[in-house]
Chain A
Amino acid sequence: MARRAGAPEVSAGSMADIAFLLLIFFLVTTTIETDAGLDRMLPPIEPPETDVVIKQKNIFQVNLNKDGQLLADGELIQLNQLREKAIAFLDNGGAASGSPEYCSYCKGKRDGSSSDSPAKAIISVKSDRETKYGTYITVQNELVGAYNDLRNREAQRLYKRDFTDMEAQYLNPETDASIKEDLKKRVKRIQELFPQKLSEAETSSSN
Chain B
Amino acid sequence: MSKFAKKKDGEVPAVSTASLPDIVFMLLFFFMTVTVMKDSSVKVANELPQANEIKKLEKKDRVITIYVGAPTKEYTKTFGTEPKIQLNDKFANPNEVGDYILMERAKKSQDLQNVLTTSLKVDKEANMGLISDIKLELRKVNALKVNYTTYEGDAFKN
Contact = CB atoms under 8 A, between A and B. Distances in A.
B150 A37 contact: yes
A128 interface: yes
A32 B30 CA distance: 12
Contacts of A30: 31, 34-35
A137 B156 contact: no
Task: Provide the main secondary structure of the chain B interface.
Answer: mixed
Interface stretch (A107-115, A141-149, A153-161): A141-149
A15 B139 contact: no
A141 B49 CA distance: 11
Contacts of A39: 55, 117, 145-147
13 contacts: A12-B17, A30-B31, A30-B34, A35-B56, A36-B150, A37-B148, A37-B150, A42-B145, A42-B146, A44-B139, A64-B128, A132-B127, A133-B127
Query: Would you call the interface of chain A mostly helix, strand, loop, or mixed?
Result: mixed
A64 B132 CA distance: 14
Interface residues of B, number: 53
The 7 A-B residue pairs with the shortest CB-CB distance, nearest first, are A129-B129, A134-B158, A134-B124, A12-B17, A37-B149, A141-B51, A141-B155
A26 B52 CA distance: 28
A193 to B, nearest CB: 18
Interface stretch (B20-28, B85-93, B105-113): B20-28
Given A19-B24, A41-B144, A138-B155, A171 B127 contact: no
B144 A26 contact: no
B122 interface: yes
Given A35-B63, A36-B150, A36-B152, A44 B142 contact: yes
Contact of A133 (B15, B49, B52): B49
Contacts of B152: 36
Contacts, number: 160
A132 B156 CA distance: 13
Nearest to B146: A40
B58 interface: yes
B147 to A, nearest CB: 5
A45 B139 contact: yes
Interface residues of A, number: 53
A130 B124 contact: no
B158 A138 contact: yes
A102 interface: no
Given A33-B36, A40-B147, A145-B52, A137 B127 contact: no
Contacts of B49: 133-134, 137-138
B98 to A, nearest CB: 11
Nearest to A80: B156
Nearest to B23: A19
A144 B158 contact: no
Given A40-B147, A40-B148, A133 B14 contact: no
B54 interface: yes
